[in-house]
A = this chain, B = another copy of it.
Amino acid sequence: MHRFFLLPLLALLLIAPAFAQSGETPRARHVVLFLVDDLGWQDISVPHHTEITPFNKRYRTPHAERLAREGLVLRHGYASAPVCTPTRTSIHSGRSPARTHITYWTLYADRDQTRPWKRGDGSSLIAPAWDLNGLGQEDATLARIFSDAGFRTIHAGKAHLGAIGSSGEDPLNLGFDVNIAGHAPGGPGSYYGLHGFRSNGRQGKPGKSVWDVPGLKAYHHHDVYLTEAIAMETCRAVREAARDNKRLFLSFAPYAVHAPIMANKKYLQHYPDLDSKEAAYATMVETVDHALGALLATLLDEGMLKDTLFVYTSDNGGLSAHGRGGERHIHNAPLRSGKGSAYEGGVRVPWIIRWPGVVQQGTVSDEPVISHDLYPTMLAAAGVSLPKDEGRDGVDLAALLRGEDLRREHPLLWHMPHFWGVNGPGIQPYSALRQGNLKLLFFQGDGRIELYDVFVDPGEAQDLATERPAETRRLAQLLAAELQRRGAQSPRLNGGGQPLGVLAALAKMQR
C-alpha cells in the first residue's frame, strides 16, 4: 500500500519493551495463521451456527474438530472483505481495506482490472483510484515485525498480497524469511503435481502462464496434490525452525479451496452422493484438513504446539455465484449468497483459535471479530510491540480469548467499491458495518440501504431498514463517519461525478 513507512517504526521497536502483555496473558512463543482460501462458513464439520447444518455433516474435517475441542470457536467471525487480497492485506497490515485502499484483488502492478457496475439508469459505477499494487516492502507487515523480532517467518501457499511487478509480489519482500509457493496471483494453474501445478500442464499445452505455481519443483511429475505438497514443504520448514531453536511465525495459506475445483481423487470415495463438482470440492476441503492435521502433529513432534497461538480462518466466504455444482447462491446456507457478496455468505467465515493456557478448551463465542484483528492480537500474544503509528483498525482479542468481555471502540466495517463481476445477491459495490447484532448495508450503485439483525436472522431475509428508521439512521451516520475516519474512497460514475453517498441515500429513503 506504500503509505506507512517502516524505518521510524523499527527504531521504536528497538527500544520498546519485549513483553507488552506479560503479567496478564502468557506469551505465545509461536504464532500460526492457518488461512484457508474461499472456505465458507459451513464448509467444515465444526458447526459455526447454533445448530449442526447439513453442510457440517457433508464435510470431513476431523482436525478442525480437534482444534475446536481444544480451542475457541468464534461463530460470528468475519473476513475483512468478500474477496481475497483485501482480507489478506488487512491481516498482514492490521488495517481495514477502507483504510489501505486495497479494496479489490490485485494481479498486475498499476493495472486496474475491475469491472464497472451497470446501474438501472444505464450509467455505470466505476472504481476509485484504489491501491492496485497491494502491500509493499515499505509496509510494517506482521512478517516484517516478527522477523525483526527474531522469529523465523514462513509463508506457505497463496500469498496474493502484492501485484506482479511490485515489490509485494514476493513474500520475501514483505518480511518473510521463507516463501513456499507464494507469489502475486491468487489461484493455481492446477492442483496436480502431475501437471507441474500449471494450467498448461492441466491442458496438456506447453508454455508459461501467470498462474503457474512457483517453486515446488520437487513435487512436479508426482501424483501429489498441491495442498499436500505445500503442507509437506511447510512441515519441513517448521522442523528446521525447531532445529534452529527459532520462534515461529507461520502464515500457512493453501491455495485451496479456490478454483479451479479439482478433486483429490483419493478422497472421492467419501462423497458418493454428491455431484462430481461438489464431490471434488469436498475432497479439497478434506485435503486442507489433512494439511492441518500434519501441521499440528509436526508442531507437537517438535514440542512447539503447547506454546503456539494457532488461528484457523478463511479469507472470504465460499464460492457460490459460479463454478460450483448444483443451484447457485446457496452453498453457504443458512447464510445468504457467497464470495464477492456484501451478505453474510460473502464475509462470515470459520474462525477457530487454539492457545493453550489462555483459551479455554471447547468454548464458543458469538462476539463479532474480523480478520484485521489478528494483527494486534498476534503481536501482543507473542509479546512483540506494535508499531506506534496511528491508523490500525484491528483490536487485540486477548480479553476475548481469556473469556472476558471485548471492548471495541469502532464497529466492524466493510468497504468494497467494486463489482466482483459475477451476478448474485449482494454482489455489488458496497459499504457495510456491524454493531451489536445489527448489520447495515449500503449498496453504492443503486443507493440501497438495508438493515438486518444477523444474530436472529443470519440469512438476511428480513430487511429492517424501513421498520426501524432510527437505528437505520444512526447506523448510516456511523457508517458515513467510519468511512470518512478511515479515508475510504468513493466509487465514481463513468460519466464523471459521484453516486449518492450513504447520507444522501438515507435522506432520500427517509424523506
**Residues of chain A in range 196-239 having any CB-CB distance to chain B below 8 Å:** 217-224, 228, 231-232, 235-236, 239
State how many angstroms separate the Cβ of A193 from the closest Cβ of chain B. Answer: 8
With A218-B239, A232-B218 known to touch, is A223 a contact of B290 (CB < 8 Å)?
A: yes
A297 at the interface (CB under 8 A from B): yes
Q: Would A224 and B228 count as touching, CB distance under 8 A?
A: yes
Chain B residues near A266 (CB-CB < 8 A)? 223, 264-266
CB–CB B236/A218 < 8 A: yes
A245 part of interface (Cβ distance < 8 Å) = no
Q: Of B218, B222, B235, which one neighbours A290 at CB under 8 angstroms?
A: B222
A294 touches B217 (CB 8 A): no
Contact B298 A221 (CB under 8 A): yes
Say yes or no: is A50 at the interface (Cβ < 8 Å to chain B): no
Within 8 A of B (CB), among A252-276: 264-266, 268-269
Q: Is A293 engaged at the interface, CB distance under 8 Å to the other chain?
A: yes
Which B residues lie within 8 Å of A264 (CB)?
266
A224 in complex: contacting residue of B218, B232, B293, CB < 8 Å: B232
The size class of the interface chain A forms with chain B is 20 to 34
Residues of chain B within 8 A (CB-CB) of A236 are: 218
CA distance A220 to B247 in the complex (A): 22
* Contact, CB under 8 Å: A239 / B217: yes
Does the CB pair B235–A228 fall under 8 Å? no
Q: Contact: B222 with A294, CB < 8 Å?
A: yes
B interface footprint on A10-38 (CB within 8 Å = 1, 0 otherwise): 00000000000000000000000000000
Contact A221 B294 (CB under 8 A): yes
Decide: A293 and B228 in contact? CB cutoff 8 A: no
Q: Which residues of the other chain, B, contact A223 by a CB distance below 8 angstroms?
A: 228, 266, 290
Q: How far is the CB of A60 from chain B (nearest CB, A)?
A: 12
Q: Which of A313-368 contact B (CB under 8 A)?
A: none
Q: Judging by beta carbons under 8 Å apart, are B239 and A219 in contact?
A: no
Closest chain-B Cβ to A294's Cβ sits at a distance in Å of: 4
Return A14 CB to nearest CB of chain B, in Å. 36
Closest to A236 in B: B218
Asked if A222 meets B218 with Cβ closer than 8 Å, knowing A266-B265, A266-B266, A268-B269, the reply is: no
B221 touches A224 (CB 8 A): no
Q: Which of B222, B269, B290, B297 contacts A228 (CB 8 A)?
A: B222
Task: Write the nearest CB–CB distance from A266 to chain B, whole angstroms.
Answer: 3
Cα(A235)–Cα(B231), bound, Å:
18
Known contacts A218-B232, A223-B228; can you find 5 more A-B pairs with CB under 8 A? A221-B293, A221-B298, A222-B294, A223-B266, A264-B266
Smallest CB-CB A-B distances: 9 pairs: A266-B266, A221-B297, A221-B294, A218-B236, A222-B294, A265-B266, A223-B290, A222-B232, A221-B298
A-B contact pairs, 12 of them (CB 8 A): A218-B235, A218-B236, A221-B235, A221-B293, A221-B294, A221-B297, A221-B301, A222-B232, A222-B294, A223-B266, A223-B290, A224-B232
